[in-house]
Amino acid sequence: MEGITIRPASEQDCGRILALIRELAAYEHMEQDVTATEDILRASIFQRHMAGVFVAEADEQVIGYALYCHNFSTFLGRENLYLEDLYVTPAWRGHGIGTGLICRVARQAVEEGCQRLDWVCLDWNQPSRDFYEKLGAHAMPWWVGYRAEGEALQELAGISRERSEE
């Protein structure tokens, strides 16, 4: 990875991180789901500290990122890290940058005393699945992911019910 630097992101990186998030969303056919803005990222990551980000930089240009946050395992009784995104712009793939980024997040997990680093991958994304397995990670087919969002989340939270009772 000669000429590549992996470092913690700064607030000044928010614009480029957002551009890479949009690239990732396009790759995953989910562009319509991106509602993040630079201000939202700045507030969530650098003011509220809801997530951490490492960026890969070449020629003073951010070319990849790994965004993670904490989760908690009741079985282990401790915090662990969850890798939300790992993305390297296509022109820079195959140079060890993705490996460097995920290894940096893993080192962060170890430094914080975490026992695990978890993430998910779209089932159709075979190149990424192969990459992760080559690194020694394993798929967990016994888990099924669930999500509540939009109206379903509002209903689950009782908000729709409360509003209708007013």
Give the residue numbers annotated as catalytic, written as ranges.
132
If you count them, how many residues does the chain have? 166
Pairwise CA distance, residues 128 & 68, whole Å:
17
